[in-house]
A and B are shown apart, each in its own frame.
Chain A
Amino acid sequence: MTTDLHSLMAPYALNALDSWERETFEAHLEQCDDCRAELAGFVATAARLGEAAKQAPPAELRDRLLAAAATTPQERPVVTALAQRRGLRRTLPRLAMAAAFLVGTVGVGGYVAERNQADNYRADSQTITSVLAAADAKTSIKTFGGGGKVQLISSASKNSAVIVASDLPTLKNSKVYQVWLVKDDSPTSQGTFASSGAMIMKGLVGVDHVAITVEPKGGSRQPTTAPISTIAV
Chain B
Amino acid sequence: MTRNKDRGKENPVAPTASQSAVTHLRLADSPEAGGPLDLGDLLLLVARGDEQAFAAIYDALGASVYGLARRVVRDPSRAEEISQEVFIQVWKSAARFDPARGNAKSWILTLAHRRAVDAVRHDQAATNRENKYDWSNGPDFDEVEETVTISLEHEQVRRCLDGLTELQREAVNLAYYKGFTYAEVAESLGANTATVKTRMRDGIVRLRDCMGVGA
Q: Is the interface of A mostly helix, strand, loop or mixed?
A: helix
7 residue pairs bridging A and B, Cβ less than 8 Å apart = A1-B192, A11-B175, A16-B176, A46-B204, A47-B106, A57-B65, A74-B93
Question: Are A53 and B177 also in contact (CB < 8 A) when A44-B103, A48-B211 are?
Answer: yes
Q: Does A226 contact B (CB under 8 A)?
A: no
Question: Which listed residue (B68, B92, B183) contacts A143, Cβ 8 A?
Answer: B183
What's the tally of chain B residues with a CB closer than 8 Å to chain A?
70
Chain B, residue nearest A74 (CB): B92
Tell me which residues across on chain A come within 8 A of B151, comparing CB atoms.
53
Chain A 1-40 interface 0/1 with B at a Cβ cutoff of 8 Å (1 = within): 1010001111101111110000000000000000011101
What's the tally of chain A residues with a CB closer than 8 Å to chain B?
51
What CA separation (Å) do A55 and B74 show in the bound complex?
Answer: 12
Chain B, residue nearest A77 (CB): B95
Question: Are A49 and B58 also in contact (CB < 8 A) when A15-B113, A64-B84 are?
Answer: no
Question: Which listed residue (A42, A51, A56, A76) contacts B204, Cβ 8 A?
Answer: A42
What CA separation (Å) do A36 and B101 show in the bound complex?
Answer: 8
B157 touching A11 by the CB < 8 A rule? no
A65 touching B58 by the CB < 8 A rule? yes
Q: Does A50 contact B (CB under 8 A)?
A: yes
What CA separation (Å) do A38 and B209 show in the bound complex?
Answer: 13
Tell me which residues across on chain A come within 8 A of B66, comparing CB atoms.
55-57, 61
Question: Are A57 and B87 also in contact (CB < 8 A) when A15-B176, A70-B51 are?
Answer: no
